[in-house]
Amino acid sequence: MDRIQNPKIAGLVPNGLPEIQPAARTGPAIAPGEFQSILEDRLKVSGHAQTRMQSRNIQLEPADWDRVMKGVEKAAEKGAKESLVLVDDVALVVSIKNRTVITAVDRQNLKENVFTNIDSAVVV
């Protein structure tokens, strides 16, 4: 590792800069070969959305995720940026640009809920 040239900074870090390790992945463990690993290449699920899905016991099957992806692709074709994607009894707010699920809401929590900062809705 290169030596720190600025003596003031070098004094703060006498042993040099620590090696940076990649951040450990948090969230549920995913077994190799599961559909989720394939999905992650196409659509990410934010930590917030994962937490909401777990706490609300939202479980989508691979066929449901395919429908979500088709909805995301349709929204992208129309120029959407943030979309509400409705799949059966689940509402997902998705960043179309980043291909990331931002949050998830089940049927019980849909009543009297207001979705803001979206520019489109897709029913799949």
Domain boundaries, the chain: 35-123
Q: Tens digit of pLDDT for each residue in 74-114?
A: 999 999 999 999 999 999 999 999 999 999 999 888 887 88
Q: Tens digit of pLDDT for each residue in 5-58?
A: 666 666 665 565 555 555 555 555 545 445 565 566 689 999 999 999 999 999
- As a CATH number, domain 35-123 is 3.30.2310
Q: Cα(88)–Cα(107) distance, rounded to whole angstroms?
A: 9
**Half-sphere exposure in the Cβ direction for 81 (13 Å, CA):** 4
Cβ of 66: how many Cβ atoms within 10 Å? 15
pLDDT at 110: 85
Please state the pTM of the whole predicted model.
0.68
